[in-house]
Structure 1
Amino acid sequence: MTDTSFVAQPAADVVMFPAYAKAVGTAAYIWGWPMVNMINRRAAITKAPQPGLLNGVLPCAPRGRIGMLHDYIAPDQTFIACPNQDVVYGLGFFDLDKEPAVVQVPDFGDRFWVYALYDARTDQYADIGKPYGSKPGFYLMAGPNWKGEVPQGITEVVRSPTELANIIPRCFMDDTDEDRAAIQTIINQIVAYPLSEFDGMMKTTEWSKAPTIPGPQSTDGAETKWVVPETFFDELDQVLEGVPPLPGEESLYAQFRQILVAAKRDPSIKQALLEAAQDAEASIIKTFHQWEHNGRPAGNGWNRSTNNARWGIDYYDRTGTSKSNMFDNKPEETQYFYTDFDADGVSLDGQFAYEVTFPAGEEPPVNGFWSLTLYNEHHFFHPNGLNRYSLGTKNKSLQRGADGSLTLHIGAQSPGADKESNWLPAPDGAFSLYIRAYWGKESILDGSWQPPKILKST
């Protein structure tokens, strides 16, 4: 009988050869990519001296606070890929073991809203929003090791499994001037601050006057580079120390720590890890940008999200989403459908015109809202004269057919004045399409609803 009373650990003083270190390093790079992404985003965002707008386009704030937009996200931001122009966003990062934070929830009335709270793994760890019947009030975000007292007046305590956490409030807004005005008093109460400042009174910030704060930004049109292969293994130790292993991950942690120790004393091992990072970035991470490698088939040439924001040990989908469209909502909050191809399997290209038709009664079945967004090759908005980047529930001027069907027109050229209300302008080259279904009904959740075919116009 085998003696299982002990578990051998990797030897700290083993003489390791580079090829082995490179193999383990490749696994470490894929596994740790989302979390290094998170720590570097937090480092950049929290340099802000006060809540404001990073480069004038994206919410930012010091640790323990959040920044909010007052309108849709700016079309030229490159901080986060696959943004949407259906909601007003907020963003904040926290170090919850040092001090918890209070997050205010105003009365949203009948408006759709959700607060996505993420841990260092990019998993969501709380249920706060309209789908959950959450009440207005004060929500205390605490870390796994915080042992302080909860003051009176706190509505609910939510604990992150990691000290690093962030929050992205989302609040639906119609694409009308009337709703832009109506939403301001609500979003001005979406505020977060350290527990030491809590006094039981609802605080307000006039987000339309948020200051511009300089910060990092992309220079090539792609997403800001948050994971750099050349520095990854210098940063991985922060992840191993700050993110407790999930059950069964202890052996992974031990292996990764062993190669980091070996790299500190052996330049050939350090070089092997550098090569592992560079090779994995080029051959694996880059490929995750393609929608066919994200999630699972959803019918008619589309893919759909899998395990979004509930990754667990699904490292493939976690890393794939971190690369292509980070900060998904949980499945019951949002389902995502995306494609780079038309119904014939040919890459979408703005030199052609396309039609996407939802038959009567077959628009995405949701309790919240839905939208179809067009992205360029980098998963960002395509600048156009209409300043239009998506169509869906928010749009009040969509024209439906006599039979109740809805046809959306896609392409670089206008389909004509009579159809222009239903037109999504495309670049001259490659682009992708992306459907969001917020608070989906059962047929969204169980996969029985399928996105429509994308057909070239005749």
Structure 2
Amino acid sequence: MAGTTLDDLRLAAREAYIFTLPLVEIATTRARGQAAGSPMNVFGHMRRLADHKARAVTTPNNDTFYSTAQVDLSAGPVTINLPATGDRYFSLALMDAYTNNFAILGTRTTGPDGGTFTLVGPRDAADGPNVVRSPTDHVWALARILVDGPHDVDAAKAVQHGLSMQGPAVDFPGPFAHRGAPWPEYFETAARLMKLNPPQVSDRAMLARMAPLGLDAFNPARFTAEQAEAIEAGLAEGRKASRSSGLGGDQFIDGWSYPSARLGDFGQDYVLRAAIALAGLAALPPVEALYMRAEGHLPRALLDGNRAWRLHFPADRMLPVNSFWSLSLYEATDDGQYFFTENPLNRFAIGDRTEGLQHNADGSLDIWIGHADPGEERRANWLPAPAGPFALFMRAYLPKPELLDGAYRLPPITEA
């Protein structure tokens, strides 16, 4: 492009990486599913809770069964059948190709009785009370079905069995590069995904900043060696920016970070969207589930499992939720992702539904966290950690208004 400087190219590459990382992460997730034999437009059901072996998606929960479908609406609508769920927490998040939750069906929104819904693409003419329109042809449908302990597994599976999808048989075009690919491969993939899922008109300002890369007709061979170096530098800046924040944000209050109100439906907050695609892909909006992260003393706000930690809830300051809460512990990878860690209790989260959880005589609650066994009297409330760095995330499902508006704050993690 005439008049394009090296700084223009560097900035364009930085912005383009940030803008397209969610597209690439979902495509990578989709490719894993297809490699495992999961067809498009059909739900696949994960009938066991995530543990330390679950590495497909960063920051999984250990509270719900997942059911997942990668959807292509370019050949026509799909029909989604939701089961009746009664008092059980259930949500079906519908995410566009850029990871925005454009609709959530389930407990909070459509109620406990289930129903049949038609999911249509941006150019489909269908309309009606049970029609849900996606802003992109490619959609990720991700259901979470509460499992209320080992005794509840069979009942939860029965609910899961009632969730289904019917739609045209389609093949998703590939292969696609991953987020760590060299810049020519990465941006070639990004350009193809943007053609399949055109950005919204509200993205025009960002697209103008990306224009020097020419993603609308991407040709890496047209750049000189000097220009390629500038693009590579911009890509590195984009990768760094995408690791700068995550599920809980960067600001801590009493030792906890709280998510942006834009989480899960990002608007033009592209850096947040990229950071969540990396560290918390498929995160729900705060009104559905509030994600909070504990502040640690180590780099990247991690805590040290070789030290003993305590989370104390006074009797009159329990977490205010309309469904349930869960504290999850993760080991951190070098590239900013989080996964459960193997431990002697096979316990990856602890919360208000944990079997055998013991309250103190005054009604307060202590949770003990660390690598060393805290002893028989405390073991029922122990969340085991690795002998090294770890991260803590609190999930509050269907948070009450005082938690959403900041009137309630979590008590800090302290050294035991």
C-alpha deviations, 1:278-306, integer Å up to 9, x for none?
3432x3334446x7xx4253521211111
Report SS of the residue matched to 1:147. Answer: coil
Match of 1:422 among 381, 391, 394: 381
Aligned counterparts of 1:256 and 1:279: Cα–Cα separation in 2:
14
C-alpha deviations, 1:15-71, integer Å up to 9, x for none?
53434212221121122212222233223323443xxxxxxxxxxx21111211112
1:215-254 correspondence runs (5 A): 226-230=179-183, 231-254=185-208
Q: Alpha-carbon deviation of 1:273? A: 2.1
Residue 43 of structure 1 corresponds to 31
1:337 maps to 2:296 = no
1:284 maps to 2:261 = no
Instruction: Read off the aligned partner of 1:436 and give its amino acid letter.
Output: R
- Check conservation: 1:335, 1:438, Cα contact below 8 A: yes
Aligned counterparts of 2:190 and 2:317: Cα–Cα separation in 1:
46
What's the RMSD between the two structures over aligned residues? 2.6
Residue 349 of structure 2 corresponds to 390
Residue 172 of structure 2 corresponds to none
Q: Alpha-carbon deviation of 1:122? A: 0.9
Residue 138 of structure 1 corresponds to 116
Match of 1:188 among 158, 161, 168: 161
Aligned counterparts of 2:326 and 2:47: Cα–Cα separation in 1:
20
Distance 1:438 1:26, change over 3 A: same
Residue 19 of structure 2 corresponds to 31
Aligned counterparts of 1:126 and 1:328: Cα–Cα separation in 2:
13
Residue 353 of structure 1 corresponds to 308
Q: Alpha-carbon deviation of 1:418? A: 1.5
1:451 maps to 2:410 = yes
Q: Alpha-carbon deviation of 1:131? A: 0.9
Aligned counterparts of 1:124 and 1:436: Cα–Cα separation in 2:
18
Aligned counterparts of 1:346 and 1:35: Cα–Cα separation in 2:
27
* Further displaced range: 29-38 or 445-454: 29-38
Distance 1:279 1:299, change over 3 A: closer
Residues paired across the two proteins, number: 398
Aligned counterparts of 2:24 and 2:32: Cα–Cα separation in 1:
12
Q: Please, what TM-score do these two structures have when normalized by structure 2?
A: 0.88
Q: Please, what TM-score do these two structures have when normalized by structure 1?
A: 0.80
User: Larger relative CO (CA 8 A, sep 6+): 1 or 2?
Assistant: 2
Aligned counterparts of 1:360 and 1:124: Cα–Cα separation in 2:
35
Match of 2:269 among 304, 314, 317: 314
Aligned counterparts of 2:23 and 2:102: Cα–Cα separation in 1:
16
- Check conservation: 2:252, 2:295, Cα contact below 8 A: no
% same residue: 28
Residue 174 of structure 1 corresponds to 148
Q: Alpha-carbon deviation of 1:182? A: 1.8
C-alpha deviations, 1:80-133, integer Å up to 9, x for none?
111111111111111112232222211111111111110012111113111124
Distance 1:167 1:36, change over 3 A: same
Indicate the structure (1 or 2) with the bigger Cα radius of gyration. Answer: 1
Instruction: Read off the aligned partner of 1:234 and give its amino acid letter.
Output: E
Residue 407 of structure 1 corresponds to 366
- Check conservation: 1:356, 1:452, Cα contact below 8 A: yes
Aligned counterparts of 1:65 and 1:237: Cα–Cα separation in 2:
26
Q: Alpha-carbon deviation of 1:402? A: 0.7
- Check conservation: 1:113, 1:129, Cα contact below 8 A: yes
Distance 1:278 1:298, change over 3 A: closer
- Check conservation: 1:68, 1:190, Cα contact below 8 A: no
- Check conservation: 1:102, 1:138, Cα contact below 8 A: yes
Q: Alpha-carbon deviation of 1:314? A: 1.1
- Check conservation: 2:67, 2:160, Cα contact below 8 A: no
